[in-house]
Homo-oligomer: A and B are copies of this chain.
Amino acid sequence: MADDIRDLARAAREASRVLVRATEAQRNAALEAIAVAIEQNVEAILAANAKDLVAAEPAVTEGTLSRPLVDRLRLSKGKVLKTIALGVRSVKDQADPIGKTEAATELDEGLKLYRVTVPIGVLGVIFESRPDALVQIATLCLKSGNAVLLKGGSEAFHSNRTFSRILVEATRGLDGIPEGWMHQLEAREDVQSILDMHDCIDLIIPRGGNELVQHIMANTKIPVMGHADGICHVYIDKDADIGKATQISVDAKMDYPSSCNAVETLLVHGDIAEAAVPSVIQALKDRGVEVRGDERTRALVDVGVADETDWSTEYLDTIVSVRVVDDFDQAVEHINTHGSHHTDAIVTENRSTATQFLQSVDAASVVHNASTRFADGFRYGLGAEVGISTNRLHSRGPVGLEGLMIYKYVVEGNGHLAGTYQGDDARSFTHRSLDETWPQDR
């Protein structure tokens, strides 16, 4: 690994230790400076973006880069001013995640314990295509007091470089903001360098397609926050309202077919299949969805064949597979076996079946009588979204700023010794819950 990248990571660690002491006002001033600098540099940003678009054309012609990917790369004056600069101000306006007292306990007279939120430390972010991802992630890190090493995709090379320069220059020398709080890496081999630095980087956040995320998860010992697949299900129970089932199935597939929380497989209880399958499938076909069914589905409607591989495929497209199941248990079994533990829904009017489903399905989000598409940081009211996680540690489901925080324990005493609480004359702990925040003098 290049020594200079290790130096950068060390510098990021140093910076994180300075940044954690920046006040909320200092971090917000830096975010405002970034928003202003983006507004003032629209022309430079668009010029850099134009270079990326021109450079992308041969790859599109050759077929190595898809047209939708290039479209996601494209910036406009409106997008820069409205979406990106405004996005920075909306991060600024979020509640300060640092220094919240999560719990306070009196251990004994004059001996108090506080659990206080602090940033995780140094994050490594690897992202594709959209250059606005750089600004979003970097500003979320700044707000939450985390230092960050970023590596963007080569297709947005010029745009990323320009945004990176703007952010670094806008925050240089500002009170409380250390040099090195963010750094953008540019060489292809830097990706592996980031993944290898488990002693310097605390968390990897991948922002990009399935393939990128899987590659990252397979090639690092650093915890990765995210999800590879989004194989989501809608289970239409025997006690479902068929109207709701139809609308929810269509919304869950068609609201945004290529998103991770779109449905890929519909499961239909055998007792309601005859009544529900034709109606649901017709509605999907009317919206242009390609439907693939198992044998029992195909006995009811004229659709293509779904086989075992369909149950484990994230189509990211206007395709859905359908399976008729024997009963509730088989539906849950199917979801827990083939799903990606991202988001799964049940449609039923039976309260007790719903509760059983929500308890039994092993997923980050479980949904009753609503679309899987609600599983999203904005819709959940988390404010800015860091990503959606299918991890079973730290953060699960849509992740907001809170997901970039950890805590430290603060003990305040007045000469207290552990020995006092041991042996024959041992003093007892009071362990009384306190309603106060740390520090008391601030």
Residues on A facing B (Cβ under 8 Å)? 17, 20-21, 105, 107, 111, 113, 120-121, 202-203, 221, 223, 241, 243-244, 247-248, 251-252, 255, 336, 345, 351-352, 354-355, 358-360, 362-371, 373-375, 379-381, 392-394, 396-398, 406-419, 421-422, 429, 431, 439, 441-442
User: In the complex the two chains form, is A107's CB within 8 Å of B397's CB?
Assistant: no
A373 to B417 alpha-carbon distance, docked (Å): 8
User: In the complex the two chains form, is A409's CB within 8 Å of B397's CB?
Assistant: yes
User: In the complex the two chains form, is B413's CB within 8 Å of A20's CB?
Assistant: no
List 20 other contacts, CB 8 Å, given A368-B410, A375-B409: A17-B336, A107-B379, A251-B418, A251-B419, A255-B417, A255-B418, A355-B441, A365-B408, A367-B413, A369-B416, A370-B415, A371-B419, A379-B418, A379-B429, A380-B409, A393-B394, A394-B406, A396-B406, A397-B408, A398-B409
User: In the complex the two chains form, is B411's CB within 8 Å of A365's CB?
Assistant: yes
User: In the complex the two chains form, is A380's CB within 8 Å of B120's CB?
Assistant: no
User: In the complex the two chains form, is A408's CB within 8 Å of B396's CB?
Assistant: yes
A417 to B374 alpha-carbon distance, docked (Å): 8
User: In the complex the two chains form, is A413's CB within 8 Å of B247's CB?
Assistant: no
Partner of A416, one of B203, B371, B375: B371
- Report A192 CB to chain B, min CB distance, Å: 16
What are the residues of chain B within 8 A of A417 when measuring CB–CB?
247-248, 251, 255, 370-371, 373
Q: Which of A367, A374, A411, A417 neighbours the largest number of chain B CB atoms within 10 Å of its CB?
A: A411
